[in-house]
Structure 1
Amino acid sequence: MYYTVRFGAVALALAGGIGAFFALGNSWSQLIVAVFLAVVFGQLGLAAHDLAHRQVFSRRRPSEAGGLLVANLLLGMSYGWWMNKHTRHHANPNHEGKDPDVSPDILVWSQRQARKAKGLPRFIGKHQAALFFPLLTLEGLNLSFASFKALRKPSMKRPVLEGTLLIVHFVLYFGALFTVLSPAKALAFIAVHQGLFGIYLGSVFAPNHKGMPMIEEGMRLDFLRRQVLTSRNVRGGALIDVFMGGLNYQIEHHLFPSMPTPALGRAQIITERYCAELGIPYHQTGLLASHREALSHLRSVGEPLREAGH
């Protein structure tokens, strides 16, 4: 029932946004629609996440079919590529050598990575805390670019199907924009929509692990400690539950990745008590505080680069 209501509400919001887009026509008021659809796309991303974890369907086929529909066709992001990446993240969160989410790319996540950084990452790393949110405006486009790039990798199980769905998405997306809107308005719509979509995704996923302890090669942690120590919960009640799609219970999600979202709140009480009994640090804070911690970490790990510049 929970997922029927939640996914139904997102589907209605998507249909409403598309309807408003065609009703408004060639108008600058479309930028309001772009803002609205950025939030809807963020919710679609959260839906794809839950489908990938089999929180919605217990069987593989309907989970994959739903994931391909939501991720590839509606979002323009490869389900197979993201699934492979996210599975590796869950197995070794915040592990410098094994978690793709903390691999040094544009940003660096540890002082060790900072000292080895060269080129653009070295330049951005000096100011990455200040640049973090501006860079998030490119995250939506980055996910699509990485998705097309991944189609050639041997790890992709259905490259033709996934590639076809991605192409259909962008043909419809750009086709609608440049048919209904003037080129200037279409480009402005894309900038607002994709930029805010990226910020939304980053605002949901960054508080989960950024600023939590990093695991270096050679460190030995059991499953419980590996998941709890590297994850952060975000308090905030029903509003945060909706905004973050249940990922505010990140510790419980990592311990029980296939657990449906509505059960995570109840699991949180049990998990916190159990960690207290074992003396395992269990960290949760508010949304703004979580971002402060994440940005503080980014600033700290970029320190060697700033010192090298003096």
Structure 2
Amino acid sequence: MSKKVKFSSTSNSAFYATTRFRVSQFFSEQEVNQHANSHMWFKTAFFLTGFVGLYLLMLINILPPLVLLPMAAGLGMFSAFVGFNVCHDAIHGALSGNCKVNKAFGLIFNLIGANPYVWSIIHNVVHHTYTNIPGHDEDIEVAPGLIRISHDDEINAIQRFQHWYAFPLYSLASLSWIFRKDYVKFFQKEIGSHQNKHPKVEYFNLFFYKALYYFLFIVLPLMVLSVNWWQFIIGFLVLHIAQGLTMGLVFQLAHVVEGTTFPLPNEHSQMCEAWAEHQMRTTANFATQNKFAAFFLGGLNRQIEHHLFPKVCHIHYGQISLIVKQTASEFNLPYIENQTFFDALKSHFLTLKKFSREVTPA
């Protein structure tokens, strides 16, 4: 059992208190609701329409396999975008002020292959609390033993090449999710230091919605599409490679780049800083001025704001980022950001390469 990590008292964090006050003041003075606005609901409709539209267009069985293949890749990417823009906010309770609306949109997560209940534990509870703490933050453990991202990770000779094979591994993330990860995490005794004690209904939900996903994306296509079994397998793999690579890259570029840290607690399981200060040292933004990234990535390119204010809809991150950045400067805290997506990609590659160099050849 992992010993629970404790942070310095949040009440002692003048930075966090000041930032929260200023952000709250912003919403009050601007008379802006912290949840979804009309633009956010347009995005929700856009991504859900694209996801459902591509799925149905493929199932009507009038398109040749060579056209279905790029559509499968597009469906995979739209699956990731639905997760980023709709489900992520909903499961955090940020999409709407109505918990029933959030729950309804959170259920859509099942249709992209992931269990929203398991995700809420791994991501909302564990990752957001213990960000980048080795052995506690399972969100950054993409492939334990294969990917090494901190000095405290176990060493394996193959990691000498991790900066080359990491990206193909990321593309398998979605396949792992639908066939393995949710089951493994659900039946673990603990995730990080979080004890798994599930309501009985969640056992039913796990298997029911997994079965529904397998029917909609495996059984039904095989029943209605005029393709050979091997053509279906290729299309299914292309869908999930596109989905997995999109998800994997976005999440990794927010925490595993140059400048972010992977701090460990002391012998008493105590972190040396308060939680908010910890977030500023372990989280990074990227491509914040890119309108394409702002629309498609669901605010995940503004992870600093997301980690400090997870219950604020991502549509507002651009505005409150000015407050967060200024306040961080006043308190002499880092505000880590890469100007473009490719800057962040390069930084992630160099981080992987850095830790690969510490591996002694077998």
If the length of structure 2 is used for normalisation, what is the TM-score? Answer: 0.78
Task: Spell out, residue by residue over 1:220-258, the C-alpha distance to the aligned partner (whole angstroms, 9 max, x if none).
Answer: 111221111111111232111123211111111111111
In structure 1, what is the Cα distance between the partners aligned to 2:205 and 2:121? 17
Give 1:150 shift.
3.7
Aligned to 1:156: 198
Find 1:130's aligned residue among 129, 142, 164: 164
Residues 25 and 183 of structure 1: is their aligned pair in 2 closer, same or farther, counting only changes over 3 Å?
A: farther
Aligned to 2:214: 170
Runs of 4+ in 1 over 4 A off after TM superposition: none
Check conservation: 2:134, 2:152, Cα contact below 8 A.
no
Aligned to 2:10: none
Structure with larger RCO (C-alpha < 8 A, sep 6+): 2
Aligned to 1:229: 281
Task: Spell out, residue by residue over 1:35-71, the C-alpha distance to the aligned partner (whole angstroms, 9 max, x if none).
Answer: 2101211112112211111111234343233212x11
> Which SS does the other structure have where 2:358 is aligned?
helix
In structure 2, what is the Cα distance between the partners aligned to 1:282 and 1:4? 30
In structure 1, what is the Cα distance between the partners aligned to 2:280 and 2:45? 33
Give 1:287 shift.
1.0
In the TM superposition, 1:1-310 aligns within 5 A as 1-21=38-58, 22-25=60-63, 27-46=65-84, 47-68=86-107, 70-72=108-110, 74-86=111-123, 87-103=125-141, 105=144, 106-113=146-153, 116-117=154-155, 122-144=156-178, 145-153=180-188, 154-157=196-199, 158-179=202-223, 180=225, 181-211=227-257, 212-218=260-266, 219-235=271-287, 236-285=289-338, 286-305=340-359, 307-309=360-362
> Which SS does the other structure have where 1:247 is aligned?
coil
In structure 2, give the amino acid aligned to 1:301.
F
In structure 1, what is the Cα distance between the partners aligned to 2:150 and 2:302? 25
Check conservation: 2:157, 2:361, Cα contact below 8 A.
no
Check conservation: 2:173, 2:245, Cα contact below 8 A.
yes
Give 1:26 shift.
5.2
Unaligned stretches of 5+ residues in structure 1: none
Larger fraction in helix: 1
Give 1:101 shift.
2.2
Check conservation: 1:96, 1:217, Cα contact below 8 A.
no
Residues 65 and 243 of structure 1: is their aligned pair in 2 closer, same or farther, counting only changes over 3 Å?
A: closer
Residues 256 and 186 of structure 1: is their aligned pair in 2 closer, same or farther, counting only changes over 3 Å?
A: same
> Which SS does the other structure have where 2:311 is aligned?
coil
Instruction: Give the aligned length.
Output: 300
In structure 2, what is the Cα distance between the partners aligned to 1:150 and 1:224? 27
In structure 1, give the amino acid aligned to 2:152.
R
Residues 88 and 126 of structure 1: is their aligned pair in 2 closer, same or farther, counting only changes over 3 Å?
A: same
Check conservation: 2:51, 2:82, Cα contact below 8 A.
no
Residues 156 and 60 of structure 1: is their aligned pair in 2 closer, same or farther, counting only changes over 3 Å?
A: farther
Greater mean deviation of Cα atoms: 145-154 or 199-208: 145-154
Unaligned stretches of 5+ residues in structure 2: 1-37, 189-195
> Which SS does the other structure have where 1:24 is aligned?
coil
Greater mean deviation of Cα atoms: 178-187 or 188-197: 178-187
In structure 2, what is the Cα distance between the partners aligned to 1:60 and 1:188? 39
Aligned to 2:12: none
In structure 2, give the amino acid aligned to 1:49.
H
In structure 2, what is the Cα distance between the partners aligned to 1:184 and 1:130? 28
In structure 1, what is the Cα distance between the partners aligned to 2:105 and 2:74? 23
Residues 152 and 110 of structure 1: is their aligned pair in 2 closer, same or farther, counting only changes over 3 Å?
A: closer
Check conservation: 2:133, 2:264, Cα contact below 8 A.
yes
> Which SS does the other structure have where 2:165 is aligned?
helix
Q: CA RMSD in A?
A: 1.8
In structure 1, what is the Cα distance between the partners aligned to 2:184 and 2:135? 22
In structure 2, give the amino acid aligned to 1:200.
T
